[in-house]
Structure 1
C-alpha cells in the first residue's frame, strides 16, 4: 500500500439486506449472510493501488448486518467547487476528465465499474489531483443485490441504468436486471459531472426525482443533448463559449445510446486530450516481493533533494508509513470505528419500542413503525482522528522509523520516554501484539527486512525468533519458507478449471473448514479455497488429496487472501518440509513411523506419562493423527495456529514432535488420573490449551532433543534447496537443516525397519551426534549447561573388562548384569548412586549387543528416568573414531 502522506482515514457505513432465518441453501446449510458475502468480495479492493483511486483499507462487520468500510479520504471534493457556484476553466475540466478516466480505465481492466460517480465521490488531494472514492460499492454489493438501496445517484445515472429500474441485480424475476452496468455507464456520469463544472450549477437540481428521470429518458429523442441540457438550465451562452475540445468531450460523454458512447479507454485515447495526455506518466503496477522483475528498477529520489534533510521537528514520520500500517496502529491505540460513527451521529441507537415492525390489519388500517431509513445508504464519510495515535507515538524517535539493519546493538530502538522497548520483549506475546509503540518498531523493522529479501533472509529469521508482527505475518512466513521466483506465473500455469475426481471431496470439506472465520466462510473464501487446493492436487500428481489438506491450506489462504499464488507457494513449500509423503495414496508406513518416533519422544521427555499411556493402551494412533496430518490446524483455531506456526517455521521437521509432547504435558495431571475411556473423552473435546506456554515448552523440549533422536527413514531426503519439486526456495541455512540434511558418514544413524523401531521404547542417536554433544573433538568430557553441569552423560553398560579395553572419555561404566534385578527394579550396587545423580540429563546408553542396550534403556524409562536414549550401532560405531581411551595402569 502507498504512504498516507496528506491523506486521511475515512469511514462510512451501510447495512446489508437481511436473509430469512428459516431458509437453507441447496447443500442443506444455512444461507451465507449478505454481510459476509460483501466482506469476502471487499478483500480484492484492498489490493487495488492506483493514483486516481482512494485506497481501501478495511471492512468490519457489526450487528444487524452493519458494515463499516475504512478507506483513504480527502476533505476536498468537486462538491466544494459546486457550492461556490463558479464555472471551471477548460483546463481544469480536461484535467478532471482525464484523471477520472484514468481511474475508470484501471477499474475496467479489473472487471469493475464505479456506478456511484458523483461530485462528492470525486475527491481532490492537496495538489488538486483526482481521487475516486466509493468506487467499489457496486462490486462489493454484487451490483446492488446484497443491499436494500440502489447504487448511484439519479442525476448522474446513465439512461440505460434508469430504464433498467430499481430491481436488484440478483432478482430472478427480471431478466434485464441481471445485466450489469458497463463501463459506458460511468462515461455518462462523467459527462454529467463535467457539464455541471462548465455550467456552474447542479444538473436538474430543482426538479423532483420522478420528473428528473423522465427528462433524462426523453433525451433519447434529441440530436444534441448538451445543447438541450444547457437550454434547460439557462446556460446556453456559457456552454457555447467553451473551447471546441471541451464541447466535443461533453458531447461524446453524453451520448444517449450506449452502443455509440465510448468507453473510458477509448475516450482516453481520443484527440481531445492530445494537449494534456503528455503531462501524465503511464501507471506502473507496483512490483511484488515475489516476482522475476527487478524491484529497484524504478527507484527515484525526491524532486527536491532538500526534503531528505529536513529538521526532525518538520518531518511527519507517521505520514510516510503505509495506510494499512497507520490504520492498524490506530486500532491498537484505542481507535473504535463504531464509536467514531456514533459520535458523528451516523449510528443512532433506538429504544426497542421504536423498532417494532409495521402491521397492516384486514380493513387496511396500519400502525407501527415505517421503514427505518437508517438501513438505506448514508454516504457520509467520517474522518478518523489520528490525534490519539500521534500522541501515543510522540516519544518515538525518528530513528525508530529508519532502523539500521546491520547495527550490532539491539534492533529494538529506545523511545525518548525513558521506557526501553526491549523490556517489552519479556512481556507475554498477546500484550506485545497490542502495544502500539512496540508494534510500530517491529513493523518498520520487518518492512525493511522484507524489502531486502532474499538477501536479508538470515536477519528475517533472527528477528522472527523474537516475534512476528501480525500485520506482516503472511510475508514473513513466505520468507521463512524460502519462497522466491515468479510465483504468479507458475500458479497461473496450473489448470484449476478442468474437473478432477477430487473436486467432490474438496466441495464437501471446504464448508466445514474454519467456518467460524468470516473471511474463510465467505463465498469468495470458498472459491479461493477451491482454487488453491485444486492447484496443489494437480501440480502434485504423485500425491493425493487427504482430508486435512484443507485445514493446512487455511492459515496460508487467510494471510494471503488476495494473493492465491503466494498461498499456494507457501503451502507447496510447507508440506514437504513438515509432511513429506504424508499425502501418498498409501501413507500408512509414513504415518506409523511418525507416530512411533512421537511415542519415543514422549518416553524421552516424560517417561512417567509414557508409561501410564502405554499401560492403559492410549497410543498416539488414537489421538495424534489429526494433530500431525494437519500440523494442529484441525484442533486449534487460527489465532492460536498463527502463534504456534510463528515458532514452528523457525525449526526443522522434528519440531512438531516437541509441540505434541508440550500439549500432552499441559494435560498431564488429567491424563495420569484417568483411564482409557476418560482419555478418549478428553481428546474428543480437547480442553483449552495455553499456546504461549505450549510454544515455550516446545522450544525447551527441542533444545534437549538430540538431532538424530527424531531421525525418520521416510522423512524428506537430503536437499540443497527447499525447492519441493516446484522451484520455490533457496539453499537451506543451518538453522533450517534436519538431521537428514547432513552428509551421510559411517557415524550416521542407519535406517531401521518399522517393526524394530516399534520394539524400542527409547530413541537412538548417532555416533556423530554423541561426539558433537559431548564435544569430544574439542577435548571436553561433557557438554555443559549454563549452570556448569554436564548436559549429557554416556553410560557404558558393557562389562568392566570390556570397558577397560576402551571407552569414551568421561563415560560411566554400569554393567548391565549388576544394574537391575530380575524384576526390573534398581538394585543396590556401586553404580546406583551415580545413576540417580544423572537424572534429568541426557543419558546415552552404550552397549555392545543391541538387545542388552534396548532392554537397559527400556528399564530406565520404566523407572521414570527422563531423556534416555541409545547409541545407534553401539560401541562398534565408536571404534573407528579414535576417540576411545584406555585407563592408565595404576602404579
Structure 2
C-alpha cells in the first residue's frame, strides 16, 4: 500500500494497471482519495525483498543471481509489451513470494504520473537510475523556466537499474551507499569514460576479487546491463533470448495470458479436489482465504471494517502536525504498510470450509452452508443494502458466483437463479454479461470496429459525454471520456441501420463503469441490452415505436391503478410528457448509478415488458402527490424527481409483473420471438393441435393480433390473448403445451353479450352482464354494471369479452372510470374461442 500525496496524479490510469497481471508483477488492487487529496495505492505485497539478501552481507550465489535476473526480465518484458517501464527498480521493490519467486512492486508509478510530469517528486532512486535519466535532470511542472518535459524513459533504463541490483547481489554490498547524493550522480555520469564499468565499480567498492571469480555468463550479463550508452544497451526482450540464459530459461514455463471468460479460447478451471471434499474442508490448518484472489480479499477486508487512512495513522505515516497546508509541495511517501487480515479472519471464522467449495448441482439450495447457517438464513431476508455490507454473506455469494461464472455458459440457468437472490457487487459486471447471454470472442469483434475515422455523430457524442453521470470520478475522468467515446462510436459504426439518439450515452454508462478495464465487454453488453429492451428505439424515425410503447404504458397504468390513471388523464398529464427519458435510457437518465445497479439487477432477469412495471411502480411511490396536484404541479414534480426508494420500487415492479398477463404488454414493434432451435424457444406458428377436431388450429390463432396505432390509442384497457385466458382460467386443449409457470393471479371472464348468445356457448365459469342492460343504444351508461356480482370479483383480472370489439372496449373503459383495477379485453372477442371447443352451454332445466 502506497500513499501518494499529490492531487494532480493521473489516478484514473490506475484502472489500466489493474488489468496488468503477470506472475512476476505485484497485482494492483485499488486506489483511494483520502483527506487533503492524499492518494493511497493498494497492491499485492510480500515481506521479503532483495534487500534481505543484501542485509546478509555476503555475495549471493551465481545461480540465484541468474534466476533473479531472468525473473525480473520476464516482468519487465511483459510491462514493455503494455507500453510501460518501471523506472523505480530498487532492492526493496524486488519482492520475493513464499516460493522465492520475484514479484516486482511499484511498477506503475511512472505510468500513473504520466512519466513523472504530473508530480513534483522524482520517480526512481538515484543510485539505480540510468546515466541518461540523470543527465536529463529533475523536472518540476510548475517551473516556468522549463518549456518541455523530458522525454519518457525507455525499456533500456530499467536494464541499467537491473545491472546495479545484480552487481550488489554479486558483491554482497550496497552500491554507492556511503557517498553523498551529488557525488553519487557525478560518479555515475563519469562512468561513460570507462572501458569496463563492472571492473571500475568493483575496484571502487573493494570487491574486485569477488567479481572476477564470477562465472563468465554472470560477468557477461553484468557488462550487458551496465552498458553506458543506451544505443548499445539491450532491451529486456533481447536479454531474455541472450545465450547467457541458456541454462536458466529451460527451468521456466513461458507465461500464457489467462483466458478471459468471453473469448474463443477453450477454458478450464484447474480444480483438483479429493474424492471426499470434507478432507479439505475439515482441516483446521487450511487457510481457505489465501486461495481467493487478492481483489476478493481486499474487497472483504474493506467490508470487515478495514480503513486505509487508519492503518497509515497507526503507523505514524499520516500525522496531523504540522498542518498539511503549510507544506510547500506534496511529496511521495514510499513507505509500504502491510494490511492486517486478523479482523477479516476473525469475521469469517464461522464460515465452514464447504462454503469455499460450493456444489453446483441444480438441486442444491441457493442458501450458503456455514456453521452459522441460521444467521445467514436471516441475512438473506434483510434489505439488499445490508446484505451487500455483510462480510460473511458476501464471501459466500462471491465464491458461489465465481464458480458459476467459470462454468458459464453451461451453468447459465444457475446464474439466473442465484441472481434472483442478489448479485455481489464485486462480480456484477460479469454477472450482467452472463444474464445478457454474451459469448464468443468479444475482444476480436470490438478490435475490428473502426473507432477512429470521423463520422457525423462525433460532434453530438462530444457534447453528451461531459453531461453524463459526471458526478462519478471514474466516468468524468479524461480516460472515462475517451472510453465513453470509443464504446459509443463502436456501437454507432456497427449498427448502420440505427442512429445515435440522445440517451445512448446514459445507457452506456452502467456497462462502462462496471467494465472500465474491458471496453469490449461494455460494448458487447450494450449491444445485447438494446435489442432486448429497446428494439428499434434508435431508428432514424422512431416515432411509431415510441408512441406504441407509451400507449401500452398508459394502458398498464389504467390496468394497475385506474384511479391514478383517471386523474392523470383528466389533467392532461400523459406519459409523453415525462416517460420518454425513462424508457429511452431505461431509467439511467433518472437515477444515479448506485440505484441503477440495483434496478438493473432485477431488470435483466425480466423480459422487455418489465420496464412498464418499473414505470408504474415509480408512479405509485408518487401517487399521493400526483393525486393531490394539477398539471402544472405535476410538471414541476417531474422536472426534479423526488427521492425514489429503489428497493421498494423493485419489489413493487416484481409484484406488478407477476399479476400482469403476458399478452397485456404485447407490442408489434418489440423484438421478434426466437425461432425453433434457437436457445430452445419454439415459434408460435409451429405448434398445432393433435386433435382431429382442431387440426387447423395453431397457437398463433390464439395469440394477439397487431392493432393500428390509432386503434390502440383509442383503448383505455389492454387486450389479452385467448391463449392467456385459457392458461389462467385453468382450461386445457388437446395438444396445447401449457406454459410451465402460470402467473400468480386469477381471471374472471365477463361476457357482455346478450343472454341468448351467452346461452348458445360461453367460457366455463364466466359471468354474463349484457351490455344492453348497462348502456343505451347511443352508448351512454344507464345502469352501473359493477353493482352486484362483479363487486365480488374486485382485485381479480377482469377479462371483458364480446362478439363486437367496440362494445368490449367501451364496457372496459367504463369499468376503469369506476376505478376497477386489472380490467382487460379479450383480443378477437368470443369468436377466437369458437374453434377451440371450450365454449359450453348450460344444462337444460328439468
CA contact 1:184–1:263 (8 Å) conserved in 2 = yes
The CA distance in 2 between the partners of 1:313 and 1:816, in whole Å, is 77
What is the correspondence of 1:805-824 to structure 2 with a 5 Å cutoff?
805-819=760-774
Gap regions ≥5 residues in structure 2: 688-697
Equivalent in the alignment of 1:363 = none
Q: Are 2:630 and 1:658 equivalent residues in the alignment?
A: no
The CA distance in 2 between the partners of 1:439 and 1:807, in whole Å, is 55
Q: Are 2:21 and 1:14 equivalent residues in the alignment?
A: no
Post-superposition offset of 1:731: 4.2
Closer, same or farther: CA 306–277 of 1 in aligned 2, 3 Å: farther
Post-superposition offset of 1:301: 5.0
What is the correspondence of 1:127-142 to structure 2 with a 5 Å cutoff?
127-142=99-114
Question: Which secondary structure state, in structure 2, belongs to the residue aligned with residue 312 of structure 1?
Answer: coil
Post-superposition offset of 1:710: 0.6
Q: Which deviations, in whole Å up to 9, do the C-alpha atoms of 1:677-735 show, x marking residues without a partner? A: 110110010000000000000000000111111111111112249xxxxxxxx94467x
What is the correspondence of 1:468-617 to structure 2 with a 5 Å cutoff?
468-617=423-572
1:342 corresponds, among 313, 316, 329, to 313
CA contact 2:155–2:236 (8 Å) conserved in 1 = yes
Q: Which deviations, in whole Å up to 9, do the C-alpha atoms of 1:327-365 show, x marking residues without a partner? A: 1111111111111111111111236xx4554xxxxxxxx
Q: Which deviations, in whole Å up to 9, do the C-alpha atoms of 1:756-797 show, x marking residues without a partner? A: 111000000111111111121179xxx9xx9x9971100001
CA contact 2:5–2:333 (8 Å) conserved in 1 = no
Post-superposition offset of 1:39: 2.6
CA contact 1:164–1:177 (8 Å) conserved in 2 = no
Equivalent in the alignment of 1:756 = 711
Post-superposition offset of 1:827: 3.2
Equivalent in the alignment of 1:801 = 756
The CA distance in 1 between the partners of 2:279 and 2:176, in whole Å, is 50
Equivalent in the alignment of 1:724 = none
The CA distance in 2 between the partners of 1:317 and 1:857, in whole Å, is 62
What is the correspondence of 1:285-296 to structure 2 with a 5 Å cutoff?
285-296=257-268
What is the correspondence of 1:334-733 to structure 2 with a 5 Å cutoff?
334-350=305-321, 354-355=323-324, 357=326, 371=328, 375-406=330-361, 408-417=363-372, 419-720=374-675, 731-732=678-679
The CA distance in 1 between the partners of 2:473 and 2:686, in whole Å, is 41
CA contact 1:52–1:131 (8 Å) conserved in 2 = yes
Closer, same or farther: CA 482–51 of 1 in aligned 2, 3 Å: same
Question: Which secondary structure state, in structure 2, belongs to the residue aligned with residue 70 of structure 1?
Answer: strand
Closer, same or farther: CA 180–557 of 1 in aligned 2, 3 Å: same
Post-superposition offset of 1:131: 0.4
The CA distance in 2 between the partners of 1:307 and 1:154, in whole Å, is 54
The CA distance in 1 between the partners of 2:452 and 2:141, in whole Å, is 26
Q: Which deviations, in whole Å up to 9, do the C-alpha atoms of 1:47-66 show, x marking residues without a partner? A: 12211001111111123321
Q: Which deviations, in whole Å up to 9, do the C-alpha atoms of 1:417-462 show, x marking residues without a partner? A: 4634122211100011111111111111111111111011111111
Question: Which secondary structure state, in structure 2, belongs to the residue aligned with residue 745 of structure 1?
Answer: helix
Closer, same or farther: CA 197–740 of 1 in aligned 2, 3 Å: farther
Equivalent in the alignment of 1:832 = 787
Equivalent in the alignment of 2:89 = 117
| Root mean square deviation of aligned Cα | 2.5
The CA distance in 1 between the partners of 2:273 and 2:754, in whole Å, is 80
Closer, same or farther: CA 309–431 of 1 in aligned 2, 3 Å: closer
Equivalent in the alignment of 1:313 = 284
The CA distance in 2 between the partners of 1:601 and 1:828, in whole Å, is 24
Q: Are 2:304 and 1:333 equivalent residues in the alignment?
A: yes
Question: Which secondary structure state, in structure 1, belongs to the residue aligned with residue 313 of structure 2?
Answer: helix
Closer, same or farther: CA 588–356 of 1 in aligned 2, 3 Å: closer
The CA distance in 1 between the partners of 2:56 and 2:340, in whole Å, is 27
Q: Are 2:117 and 1:145 equivalent residues in the alignment?
A: yes
CA contact 2:503–2:585 (8 Å) conserved in 1 = yes
| Higher mean C-alpha deviation, range 232-241 or range 494-503 | 232-241
Post-superposition offset of 1:83: 2.2
- Number of aligned pairs? 828
Post-superposition offset of 1:819: 2.9
The CA distance in 1 between the partners of 2:762 and 2:325, in whole Å, is 89
Question: Which secondary structure state, in structure 2, belongs to the residue aligned with residue 275 of structure 1?
Answer: coil
Closer, same or farther: CA 412–738 of 1 in aligned 2, 3 Å: farther
What is the correspondence of 1:870-889 to structure 2 with a 5 Å cutoff?
870-889=825-844
The CA distance in 2 between the partners of 1:290 and 1:321, in whole Å, is 21
Question: Which secondary structure state, in structure 2, belongs to the residue aligned with residue 314 of structure 1?
Answer: coil
Post-superposition offset of 1:614: 0.5
The CA distance in 2 between the partners of 1:405 and 1:300, in whole Å, is 14
Post-superposition offset of 1:738: 11
Closer, same or farther: CA 854–301 of 1 in aligned 2, 3 Å: closer
What is the correspondence of 1:99-248 to structure 2 with a 5 Å cutoff?
99-168=71-140, 174=146, 177-248=149-220
Larger RCO: 1 or 2 (CA < 8 Å, sep 6+): 1
What is the correspondence of 1:729-748 to structure 2 with a 5 Å cutoff?
731-732=678-679, 745-748=700-703
Equivalent in the alignment of 1:50 = 22
CA contact 2:12–2:477 (8 Å) conserved in 1 = yes
The CA distance in 1 between the partners of 2:745 and 2:580, in whole Å, is 36
CA contact 1:164–1:176 (8 Å) conserved in 2 = no
The CA distance in 1 between the partners of 2:767 and 2:153, in whole Å, is 84
Post-superposition offset of 1:619: 0.6
The CA distance in 2 between the partners of 1:371 and 1:584, in whole Å, is 57
Q: Which deviations, in whole Å up to 9, do the C-alpha atoms of 1:235-273 show, x marking residues without a partner? A: 222211111111111110011111110000000111111
Equivalent in the alignment of 1:725 = none
The CA distance in 1 between the partners of 2:139 and 2:473, in whole Å, is 28
Equivalent in the alignment of 1:364 = none
1:60 corresponds, among 32, 37, 54, to 32
Question: Which secondary structure state, in structure 2, belongs to the residue aligned with residue 844 of structure 1?
Answer: strand
The CA distance in 1 between the partners of 2:662 and 2:721, in whole Å, is 9
Closer, same or farther: CA 789–258 of 1 in aligned 2, 3 Å: closer
The CA distance in 2 between the partners of 1:738 and 1:610, in whole Å, is 35
Post-superposition offset of 1:172: 9.5
CA contact 1:414–1:422 (8 Å) conserved in 2 = no
The CA distance in 2 between the partners of 1:349 and 1:99, in whole Å, is 41
Closer, same or farther: CA 388–326 of 1 in aligned 2, 3 Å: same
Closer, same or farther: CA 399–356 of 1 in aligned 2, 3 Å: closer
The CA distance in 2 between the partners of 1:496 and 1:744, in whole Å, is 45
Equivalent in the alignment of 1:323 = 294
Question: Which secondary structure state, in structure 1, belongs to the residue aligned with residue 246 of structure 2?
Answer: helix
The CA distance in 1 between the partners of 2:273 and 2:246, in whole Å, is 28
CA contact 1:58–1:71 (8 Å) conserved in 2 = yes
Q: Which deviations, in whole Å up to 9, do the C-alpha atoms of 1:157-183 show, x marking residues without a partner? A: 111111111115898975763411100
